[in-house]
Amino acid sequence: MAGQDTLTFTDDNFDTEVLGSDIPVMVDFWATWCGPCKMIGPLIDEIATANVGKAKVGKLNTDDNRNTAMKYNISAIPSILFFKNGEVVKQIVGMTSKNDLQAAIDATA
């Protein structure tokens, strides 16, 4: 369900891929049953492709990775968290535009 440049984050790889990343990371917390998640998915994929090498962009399925979702208090999806140096620096909950997503990555970089 993800584009070729969109990473898949899990409970098992989150610490390494997100918290240990030396470049900014955008994480889309989603689930297969979530309508708005399906709507924003193509935008996430476009952002991933546009930012290869500049930022990691990926998705974390909240149903399959409950520990990470609980750690970040994800109570509504889609929730998109932006990480820099292992810390959350911005969060967007619900639908948003491609421009807003890109602006958040640019501000994090």
Positive or negative: CA dihedral 95, 96, 102, 107: negative
Q: Which of 7, 18, 25, 34 is catalytic?
A: 34
Contact 39, 95 (CB under 8 A): yes
Query: Is residue 34 annotated as a catalytic residue, yes or no?
Result: yes
Q: Which of 7, 18, 37, 44 is catalytic?
A: 37
Query: Is residue 104 annotated as a catalytic residue, yes or no?
Result: no
Q: Smallest Cα–Cα separation from 93: which of 7, 10, 14, 29?
A: 29
Just list the catalytic residues.
34, 37
